[in-house]
């Protein structure tokens, strides 16, 4: 399964698994962007990401980590 920018919840789950000790509230958007791009399952155009997508990923990650 490959992840796309629209797979916000699945990306959040992957980030939660990969960075269990990280507080998603403390992650900057540039770091979040880089971490998503580095996920093995991620396969989408880097240019298709914007602040709203990163914000949605961050919010989903916060919910996932609770």
Average pLDDT over residues 20-47: 97
Q: Is residue 39 classed as helix, strand or coil in its secondary structure?
A: coil
pLDDT recorded at residue 1? 77
8-65: what CATH class? mainly alpha
**Reported pTM:** 0.94
First to last CA, the chain: 25
32 has a pLDDT exceeding 80: yes
């Amino acid at each position: 399964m490959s992840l796309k920018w629209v797979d916000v919840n699945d990306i959040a789950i992957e980030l939660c698994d990969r960075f269990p000790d990280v507080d998603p509230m403390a992650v900057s958007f540039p770091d979040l962007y880089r971490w998503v791009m580095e996920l093995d399952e991620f396969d989408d155009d880097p240019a298709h990401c914007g602040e709203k997508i990163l914000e949605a990923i961050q919010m989903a990650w916060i919910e996932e980590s609770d």
